[in-house]
Structures are given as C-alpha cells and as structure tokens.
Structure 1
Amino acid sequence: MGQLLEAAGFLALVQGVAGLVHEFTDLHWGLVQRLGVLDGHEVYASVALLVLAFALFAASESRKPG
C-alpha cells in the first residue's frame, strides 16, 4: 500500500511540476494544460497536484512499519 501511495505521489508531483513549467516557460508537456475543464485554471490545478503529492508522500510514510 505504501508503494502505491508513493507511486501516485510521484505522478502527482511530476504532473504538478510539468503544469507549472508549461505555464511559465511555454514547454508543452504534462497533462494539466490538455484538460479543457481546467482552461484558465492550470496554475491552481498544478499547485493542487503538488499539495496532493506531498500529502500522498506523508501518508505513505505513516503507513511504513516501525
């Protein structure tokens, strides 16, 4: 379960960073900017993904034994 949380956290971290890099440098990679529902709110979605990533990392740490 901890490895699944870490993997999900890593994906959220990568997508959050990719969204911020896209907004500030015009490099076109990541999924946040490709979702039409988030049009105009990409920065907020990217920051939310970064917060989610750190929450998932914290949850995976709390699940480890010892």
Structure 2
Amino acid sequence: MKKFIEAAGLIIMLQGIGGLVHEWTGWLRLWTLARHIDFFGDRALFVSIVLIVTGFAIMVAPDAVRKRS
C-alpha cells in the first residue's frame, strides 16, 4: 500500500511539473491535466504549483506515519 501511495504522489507531482513546463515553454500541452479542466480557467499556473506541493506531501506521508503494533 505504501508503494501505491508513493506512486500516486509521484504522478500528481509530475502533473504539476508538466503544467509548469507547459505554462513557461508551451510544451506538453496534451499531457497536463490542469490545462484540460475548464473549471480552473486562467489559474493553471497556481493549480500546477498546488499539484506539486500536494504530490510531494502524499509521497512523504507514508514515511511520516508511525506504525502501530
């Protein structure tokens, strides 16, 4: 389960990084998720930053939680 959560965090973080790359250079226009959701509108840069932070937090979370025995 820990590996699955870390993989999900990595995918979310990569989506954020891809969104930033698209905003700055115009590359990866079909790959980024935030660009295709109309609800976000012109806030794609902010959403990309939030995705990076959220993905990193999800990747770190399984290590931060202590096992209870």
Question: Shared topology, TM-score over 0.5?
Answer: yes
When the two structures are superposed, what TM-score results if normalisation uses the length of structure 1? 0.86
Q: Return the structure number with greater helix share.
A: 1
* Residue number in structure 2 paired with 1:14: 14
Q: Percent identity?
A: 32
* Unaligned 5+ runs, structure 1: none
* Residue number in structure 2 paired with 1:48: 50
**1:1-33 CA distance string (max 9 Å, x none):** 211210111111110001101100011131111
* Kept after mapping to 2: 8 A contact 1:9/1:53: yes
CA RMSD of aligned residues (A): 1.5
* Kept after mapping to 1: 8 A contact 2:7/2:59: no
When the two structures are superposed, what TM-score results if normalisation uses the length of structure 2? 0.83
* Unaligned 5+ runs, structure 2: none
Question: For the pair shown, which has the larger CA radius of gyration, 1 or 2?
Answer: 2
Aligned length: 65
- Following TM superposition, where does structure 1 have runs of at least 4 consecutive aligned residues deviating by more than 4 angstroms? none
